[in-house]
Structure 1
């Protein structure tokens, strides 16, 4: 019988292809060809139902899975593989919780961002002290230890009391559970804000700690004040009675003249508003007047002031020939808003600039600018001052 080697080779090749396909499928199932970021979590224990393949989540979004769970006798090491694209969005400062989906369900890893430097997590990072939620087996273990240390008669009495308290109150208990669920549902959206406010609470606590000594001193002083009030109770009672009389008198006066007071205050409102607006001018005006008085006394003052020109006289005269105000060109304007200005007062350095307000009250400057003589000044310069009445030269 002749063997057709071509069919044999084809069958062997197909068998090898099936084996290679099975190997590749198994490797793909174990994510051998996936590009992942491996990170380790250290915890006291991994708890029940923490197995390879459990999801890893951040803010409810799955970012990887658990690849291995091992122990060294003192704690558990959970190796997780993160999706590289998701790892770039995970900060380096994160904490981990191993939490179950339900009371009896499998666990998953929940990552919580802690803020920090802004760098993302890298391969080989170790998240220390991962927290594991209390599990049902640990709860039963603690309960059994407690029950073993308590006499059965006391347990029976306690259960009987609880049963008696709950009997007939099922509807109220149902309403209590429903109300609690509603409160928790309403409070749950505010948990992120509460978490953000916790550092501020710590800062406020530090401030209270800093003023605790002063607060204690104030409380001690209040104790002395209280003792004084007790010792002077009669005087304090008389003071309260006098304040009561004052209050009654004031109340009667306001009741009789309240409308007039309101009208007066309403009438004074425009005037007080105007004074309030121009109040900045008052200090600089009087300070300027006081400074000018000191300067004038320093120049023209008598012996008691030590002026540089004691007993000097100032002659004021009007120059004739200046055109008079004309009607209606030089009538002052009303309602002009100039605003409060000090113009450098109280101490003006140099010659201040001339400010021309549009009020119509500026000195009239006519067109006649020819030079004129003052006959009084001319006579004074030529013949000297006139003798005083009643004698003299």
Structure 2
């Protein structure tokens, strides 16, 4: 009786130690492999905190190559695992046991994991046996004799070149030291190159259409090569004729250009006055048309006066020769005065030596010549200018 009670107590202690009396929520993992040291009882962590144990490891019935791992999770942590939780099988040390590690993703999903939906394992720690298997598979494909010959040839090629090889490594290290500070710019250029490639890819159809059009143009040139040759020959002949004309007419063209120099200098000297004349004509033209007509394009309104009955004296040479000593404009510079308006007061004036008398014409005299002069000639003195 005592032994039965003792065995029952020991069984209860072992069951409690194994977590038989703790609530569990089952989860299923699917992995490409489970590893050699992932055993039942291995811990399960979430961001480093233990939340359960591995219950069993078996092959997947639908895919014998894959492993199905069943987990027993504490129900209080089940609602903390998002549906897109990152799952991996890791090792505590190089040769230590493996465990299942859950990690929060960068953008957790609002949905939670389900006990009925398997979770895919994203990463599994590489084991030494896998590494050895890979190395063994590679070594089986290598011929030892050829490998020995290759190594011997490499040793002979590098014989006596140790210092040069070492210098090459040092130079390579220097180059890398120069490249490392430029890595951000290099990464930016690579990203920009990808964007450039996308632009070229988008423009690819247009580029190919352009190449197709260029091919058609080339075929057209090829089919019309006879006419092109004739056009080139004609162009050569025209060039020869033009060269002969320019050679003969060169001195005359040079003389004409030289003759234009004084005229150009005169225009340059009076450019301000020319501008004023054109501008003032634009302003005066409407008033001129209003007075004399001509805005209809074919007639003028003119009024005649018999000069024979007495008007102002006629032009007398050389007494009435004009003076052309006026120079300058506003502030003594070539240019135009402002238009005279009621706002511009007092009106500006420029004293000029032009021979124009500003004395008032306040006397009465007969016009010269009078009508008798047309019949019998000048009878009284010679023509004179106004006093």
Q: Considering the TM-score relative to the shorter chain, is it more than 0.5?
A: no
The TM-score bracket by the shorter chain reads: 0.3 to 0.5
TM-score (norm 1): 0.38
